[in-house]
Amino acid sequence: MAVDLVERAQRGDHAAFDALATGAYHRLYAIARRILRDEYASQDAVQETLARAWRDLPGLRDRSLFDAWLHRLLVHACADQARRDGRRRVEVTGLAIDAGSPGDDVAAVVDRDELERAFLQLPVEHRAALVLVHYVGMTAPEAARTLGIPAGTVYSRLHYGARQMRAILLAPTPPVTSPEAGR
């Protein structure tokens, strides 16, 4: 990311902003996808982020913080998107199952599904902290600067997010009954 591109984009240079947006798009989408867990909502959040960035870019004072500022806009767009959706979406993706694979592969899919379900029950703010620290690889203070919150709040969100996921995963699941059982 060149500070020069940011400066040119701040002056209204569409080509410079296009270069910045193109360079950041896949990274932003990957983060949004991990926070929202929905392809279309993630695309919407990234588009909203880039639109806000274009609109608000002239007000960015420290051009060297462009990436952190963009991540903050993305997290806010993800929170807005999650509130707008209001409901949980179910996304079904195709699974490549090897005919000769042992039952352990099925157990891995079940484990991943349980983790996914627990993650989706977290507030979006906790998901954002977990993704920035554990997926993006930021330190908690870096995530705090990106999110515009104190580092202690990031540590708290990491702690409570992990604790809530653990509680969800350890909670007993009710037995599944068939419709015929009630007859």
For residue 13 the two structure tokens come to: 């240079």
The letter for the amino acid at 74 is: L
Q: What is the pTM of this model?
A: 0.72
| C-alpha–C-alpha distance, residues 81 and 30, integer Å | 15
Q: Which overall architecture, per CATH, does domain 102-172 show?
A: Orthogonal Bundle (1.10)
CB 34 within 8 A of CB 20: no
Give every CB contact of residue 90 below 8 A, 6+ residues apart in sequence. Answer: none
Q: Where in the chain is the domain with CATH 1.10.1740.10?
A: 1-86
Tens-digit pLDDT profile for the chain (183 aa)? 478 999 999 999 999 999 999 999 999 999 999 999 899 999 999 999 999 999 999 999 998 889 999 999 999 999 999 888 765 444 444 444 444 455 567 777 877 888 888 888 999 999 999 999 998 899 999 999 988 899 999 999 999 999 999 998 898 766 656 565 555
What is the sign of the dihedral through the CA atoms of 159, 162, 167 and 170? negative
Helices 66-85 and 39-56 cross at an angle (nearest 10°) of: 130
Domain 1-86 has CATH 2.40.50.140: no
Q: Where in the chain is the domain with CATH 1.10.10.10?
A: 102-172
